[in-house]
Structure 1
C-alpha cells in the first residue's frame, strides 16, 4: 500500500491488561473503531504506544497485530525510538518484517543529540532500510530541533518523505514550505495546534486524542482541509480542553483514561507509569465529562 501521509493518523495506544501484559485483541478492536470513524492510517509504537516500555519482540508483535487488523485498508507505520542508531536500524528492520508500511523515526533516546548528529542518525537509518520515513521533530520532548535549513541535508534521501512537525512553532509549517516546497509531506504533531497547522498547509495530523474521539477528529480535519473554517473552529473549540492533554508529561496516562471514559480502551499502563489518582485524576475526568456532556452531533 502506498502511504499518502494524508488525513488523521492516530498514534495508537498499545492496550494492556491490568498487570501490564499486552492486550492485542483490545488493540485490534481499538484500531478497527478508529478506522470505522474515518482515520486514514496508524502509527504504532509512538509515545502513546508506550514504545520505551516494550521489548524488541513485543514491539514486533504489536506491529504485526496492527497490520493484521488493518488488513490492507489503511497503512500501519511503526515508531522507531531507540538509544543508538544501530538499535534503531534493527527495530526498523523488525517493523518491516512485521508488515509495517512506513516508519516514524525519532532522534536517539537518552543521549541528547545536536542537529548534526540527528541528521546523521536519520540519514544512516534511511540508507539502511527501504521503507518510507517520517522524521519526528519534537524539540520540546527530545531537545533537538531540526529547522528548515537542517532538512536540506535530508532532502537527498529519497525515502525520507514526511515530517511530523511538533516544534510548537506555528510558523514552522510555512517556513518548511517556503524552503522546501512540496519535497516533504508535513503533518501536524501537536494536537492543540491542529487547526492552525492544517490551514497553513499540513497534509495530515498524527494525533493523540483521535484515539478517544476519532469521529470528531476526522470530521474536524475534513472541515479544515475543505476551508470550512467556521465549522472547523466550532469543533476545535469544543475539542481544545481535551487536546491540551496531549502535550502533558503524563499524556499516556491522561489519554488512556480519556479512552476508557469514551469507550475506546482501558487505562492500564506498564510500570513505571501508574494510573491516575486523586486531584490529577479528577482533573482529567472533569474535562472528559464536560466533553461528553457537550459532544457535538455529527452529520
Structure 2
C-alpha cells in the first residue's frame, strides 16, 4: 500500500492546568486510536495548537511522541509550520531525527506571497531538510496555491503529499488529477465534509479532526474506499459520519469541541487549551454534542464511550 495512504487524525494536544504537556493522556489517546484501526497520526497540526507552543516545546513534544507512535506501527506526520522558513527547517530536522515520516507545512500565514515566492518558500525547505513534505493548501489562513504552482512543487524531491483544505472540490480535483501525472505524490483530504467526494475523485488519505473522536468509523471509511474499492459501502459510512464532519469543520472552535468530546464522552483528561483559545460555554457544549450525534455514534462504534451527558 502507498506509504502515505492513511487517515491521519490531527491529534489534539492535552495540557495540564499549568500548561505543561500531559504525555500520559496523549499516549492513551494515541493507543486508543491505533487500537481502533487508525494507521497514521498527525502531531502538532493546527488542532494540536502548534501556534501556541514555542520552538523548544514543539521539539520536546515531538521527541517524546513520535517514537512512541512509531513503535506502535503507525505513520507519523508532524506539523512544522512557522513564519520563518529557517524555523520550519529546524522543526523538520528535529521531526526527522525523531523518526517522523513527513512534515506538514503551510505557506507563510501572515505575509501573502505571490506564486513565485510561494514556490521558493517550499524549495528552500526542500533543499535544507531531508524529511518528506506535505504541502498544505489552506487559502483561509495563507496564500492559495494555484494548480500550476502545485504542479511545479510536485517536482521537488521531498514533496510527497498535499493536504487540501480549500473547501472547494474543484481545487482538490485539480490537485488530484495533476498528481496522477506523477509517480509518488499523494493528495489527502483536508476538509472533513468533502471526505467522500475527495476519495471518490482519487484522494489517497485524510487529515482529520473527526478521527480524534471516531477513529474506528474513520478507519472503516478509509478501508472501504481505498482497500475494498466499495464506494457504496463508503457512502453509507460517510452518511453516518456526516453530522460529526459537519461539526468539526463548521463549528468555530473545533479544537475545544474535540477536547470536550474526548473528556465528556470518552473519559480522556485533555485539560485546558492554551491562549488565545478558551473553553466552551455550556450552550456551546450542548450544541457540540447534539449537532454531531456523537453520543449515539460513540456507543455504536467504540468500546470506550462513557455516554456522559
TM-score over 0.5 for the pair: yes
Instruction: Please give the alpha-carbon distance, in whole angstroms, between the structure 2 residues aligned to 1:62 and 1:158.
Output: 27
Q: TM-score, normalised by structure 1?
A: 0.91
Instruction: Please give the alpha-carbon distance, in whole angstroms, between the structure 1 residues aligned to 2:152 and 2:217.
Output: 38
1:75-86 matches, cutoff 5 A: 75-86=75-86
The corresponding residue for 1:213 is 214
Q: Which moved more, 1:129-138 or 1:34-43?
A: 34-43
CA displacement, residues 176-224 of structure 1 (integer Å, 9 cap, x when unaligned)? 2433425221111111111110111001111111001100110112122
How far apart are residue 60 of structure 1 and its match? 1.2
Q: Which moved more, 1:13-22 or 1:155-164?
A: 13-22
The corresponding residue for 1:236 is 238
Quick check: 2:169–2:194 contact (8 Å CA) kept in 1?
A: yes
How many aligned positions are there? Answer: 296
CA displacement, residues 206-258 of structure 1 (integer Å, 9 cap, x when unaligned)? 11110011001101121223332333223222221211233243211112112
Quick check: 1:20–1:271 contact (8 Å CA) kept in 2?
A: no
Quick check: 1:14–1:62 contact (8 Å CA) kept in 2?
A: no
- The SS at the match of 1:168 is coil
The corresponding residue for 2:306 is none
Quick check: 1:81–1:88 contact (8 Å CA) kept in 2?
A: yes
What 5-or-longer segments of structure 1 have no aligned partner? none
How far apart are residue 119 of structure 1 and its match? 1.6
Quick check: 2:214–2:298 contact (8 Å CA) kept in 1?
A: no
- Post-superposition, which runs of at least 4 consecutive aligned residues in structure 1 deviate over 4 A? 294-299
Specify which of 251, 255, 259 is matched with residue 254 of structure 2.
251
Q: Is 1:10 paired with 2:9?
A: yes
What 5-or-longer segments of structure 2 have no aligned partner? 303-309
* Structure 1 residues 134 and 120: alpha-carbon distance in aligned structure 2, compared to 1, 3 A threshold: same
Q: TM-score, normalised by structure 2?
A: 0.88
Q: Is 1:187 paired with 2:191?
A: no
